[in-house]
Chain A
Amino acid sequence: GAVVSQHPSWVICKSGTSVKIECRSLDFQATTMFWYRQFPKQSLMLMATSNEGSKATYEQGVEKDKFLINHASLTLSTLTVTSAHPEDSSFYICSARDSGVIYNEQFFGPGTRLTVL
């Protein structure tokens, strides 16, 4: 089956630093990838839609200058949390939609747990 990986699986950083999270589709091409955030005991919240070769589309209330998204190839999207603060601590999950299928199944990565001290 289709596999999506994320790296790193967890990261701890100091307040004010930037953190980059990678999302890769391992055995399929993904024109579209998605970034979600999940706080403890809450549901997933869509942050942005990442389209290969174009600018990401951010959901309302998500700061595009703080959460930089780059989708430079059909198998890789990156999310950079700039100037991270403790309130950015969360579980970040990416997903990818297979460009070769017509339905809306998304394949999710295992998530990245970010802790900002």
Chain B
Amino acid sequence: DAKTTQPPSMDCAEGRAANLPCNHSTISGNEYVYWYRQIHSQGPQYIIHGLKNNETNEMASLIITEDRKSSTLILPHATLRDTAVYYCIVTLNYGGSQGNLIFGKGTKLSVKP
């Protein structure tokens, strides 16, 4: 079973920031938080990952709370092309079965004009 809890759906206005929350209260000390997204009928796309520090790349920012029990993915200026299902995944950062990606139900983000 997925170790994360996400809201099933969210709406966001085009051009605004989209803030997608994720709860992972049972995360262990060596587990990372990964975010992927899946646009309809395509394979998932990696967005970002982090351990405990906030991370930023060209796609998004990841804010992890100090106790690591929750995180927020931020798309700073959402566009219509960001409409997708966003998955928050907790996993180890190396090979072996404990490093597998277990997908939960994710959050369906709808960006509206």
Contacts and interface: CB of A to CB of B under 8 A. Distances in A.
Interface string A88-117: 000101010100001111111111010000
Contact of A104 (B42, B87, B99): B99
Q: Is the interface of A mostly helix, strand, loop or mixed?
A: strand
Interface string B73-104: 00000000000000100011111010111111
B100 A34 contact: yes
Contacts of A106: 46, 101
Contacts of A97: 95
A44 to B, nearest CB: 4
B32 A43 contact: no
Interface of A: 4, 6, 32, 34, 36, 43-46, 49, 57, 91, 93, 95, 97, 102-111, 113
Contacts, number: 59
Interface string B22-60: 000000000010100010011111100100000000000
Interface residues of B, number: 25
A111 B97 contact: no
A91 B95 CA distance: 25
Contacts of B95: 32, 97
Interface of B: 32, 34, 38, 41-46, 49, 87, 91-95, 97, 99-106
Contact of A103 (B93, B97, B100, B103): B93
B43 A108 contact: yes
A46 B102 contact: yes
Given A103-B49, A104-B92, A105-B49, A44 B44 contact: yes
Nearest to A105: B46
A103 B92 CA distance: 9
Contacts of B94: 102, 104
Contacts of A43: 87, 103-106
A95 B45 CA distance: 10
A57 B43 contact: no
B43 A4 contact: yes
B25 to A, nearest CB: 20
A104 B44 contact: no
